[in-house]
């Protein structure tokens, strides 16, 4: 078949086939007929889609009459594979069928009443282009997924090395958090470093989510304690929490001004990153858990080790691996 349009830009298909020329005792390829439907544009589209479906099922190649028609034919193949086509069954009922998304399509209806054998066939250029677009989309998703995994691995390695170094460098640890917002979760894609709230406050970090919303972060040194030996919150922790509360209050009362700088800064969550988990006892770990519950996750206090362990769990989840402790 050859895809073409008439003088009114209405789509049609030329049916080309072999005939036997008795005068020369030879086979000849000739134009047998063409589809010609006096109908609405929608009905004509259905006819073209139906004929393309038959060409797929019965292994009939479809070619363009000229290259300028490529986009039009691609549109019909998209419609065929995305939305299916109609057939009349043995009970004279119009039913909708859909080709399976494979390079050698089978076809079934919603109840699986109709099946076809997979046979090698010839693909039109537009059909190959359709499959190419699908394949590129799938590869793009795989590339994005692998990028997330690699980025998470790199962040984990650098944070782990920084925390376990004998000459621990706090500036280097903060740099790691700046470069790898994914350590806070896969929903974070960017860090805005040292963002000012008016002339009064400056946040260490503002984290941008995939959905365009933002959260704020106060970074304290990994060498600081979260609780005292007596089990009370340290002044460093209280100060950091107060910083977050001041920022959140300022954003709430100056929302329009705040969103001049960051458009989607609506009711952000606040993180405090401080200290190491090995400096906490079972009692103070429980106190920290309850403290986070009191703030109802409007403010969350996490240690550097919490970031590390959460990121490890996330990596294991994404890669399907079990942690070494399992």
Residue in 63, 51, 78 with CA at minimum distance from that of residue 4: 63
pLDDT given for residue 106 in this prediction: 46
Residues 117 and 158 in one domain: no
Residues 172, 231: one domain?
yes
Query: 286 to each of 219, 230, 283, 295, how far by Cα in Å?
Result: 22, 14, 5, 15
pLDDT at 259: 57
Segment 227-270, tens digit of pLDDT = 999 999 999 999 999 999 988 888 777 766 555 555 556 678 89
CATH number at residue 159: 3.40.91
Domains held by the chain: number = 2
Residue range(s) defining the domain that contains residue 55? 2-123
- Number of Cβ within a 10 Å radius of residue 301: 24
pLDDT of residue 125: 66
Q: What local confidence, expressed as pLDDT, does residue 326 receive?
A: 46
- Asked if 42 and 91 sit in the same domain, the reply is yes
Low-confidence ranges of the chain (pLDDT < 70): 37, 100-126, 141-142, 194-201, 255-266, 322-326
10 Å Cβ neighbour count for 216? Answer: 25
| pLDDT of amino acid 223 | 94
User: What is this structure's pTM?
Assistant: 0.57
Indicate if 65 and 175 belong to the same structural domain: no
């Amino acid at each position: 078949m050859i895809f073409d349009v008439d003088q009114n830009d209405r789509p049609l298909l030329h049916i080309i086939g072999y005939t036997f020329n008795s005068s020369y005792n030879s086979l000849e390829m000739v134009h047998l007929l063409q589809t010609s439907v006096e109908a609405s544009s929608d009905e004509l589209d259905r006819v073209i889609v139906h004929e393309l479906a038959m060409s797929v099922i019965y292994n009939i190649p479809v070619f363009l009459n000229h290259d300028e028609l490529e986009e039009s034919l691609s549109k019909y193949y998209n419609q065929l594979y995305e939305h299916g086509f109609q057939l009349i069954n043995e009970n004279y009922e119009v039913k909708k069928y859909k080709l399976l998304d494979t390079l050698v399509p089978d076809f079934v209806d919603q109840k699986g009443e109709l099946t076809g054998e997979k046979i090698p066939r010839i693909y039109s250029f537009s059909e190959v282009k359709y499959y190419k677009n699908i394949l590129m989309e799938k590869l793009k998703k795989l590339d994005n997924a692998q990028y997330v995994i690699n980025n998470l691995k790199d962040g984990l390695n650098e944070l782990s090395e920084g925390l376990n170094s004998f000459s621990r460098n706090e500036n280097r640890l903060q740099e790691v958090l700046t470069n790898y917002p994914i350590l806070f979760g896969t929903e974070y894609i960017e860090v805005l470093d040292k963002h000012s709230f008016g002339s009064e406050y400056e946040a260490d970090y503002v984290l941008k989510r995939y959905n365009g919303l933002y959260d704020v972060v106060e970074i304290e040194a990994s060498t600081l304690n979260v609780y005292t030996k007596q089990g009370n919150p340290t002044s460093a922790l209280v100060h950091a929490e107060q910083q977050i509360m001041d920022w959140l209050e300022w954003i709430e009362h100056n929302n329009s001004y705040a969103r001049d700088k960051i458009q989607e800064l609506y009711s952000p969550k606040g993180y405090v990153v401080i200290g190491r988990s090995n400096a906490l006892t079972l009692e103070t770990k429980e106190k920290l858990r309850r403290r986070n519950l009191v703030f109802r996750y409007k403010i969350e206090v996490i240690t550097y080790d919490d970031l590390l362990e959460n990121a490890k769990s996330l990596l294991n989840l994404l890669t399907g691996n079990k942690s070494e402790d399992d």
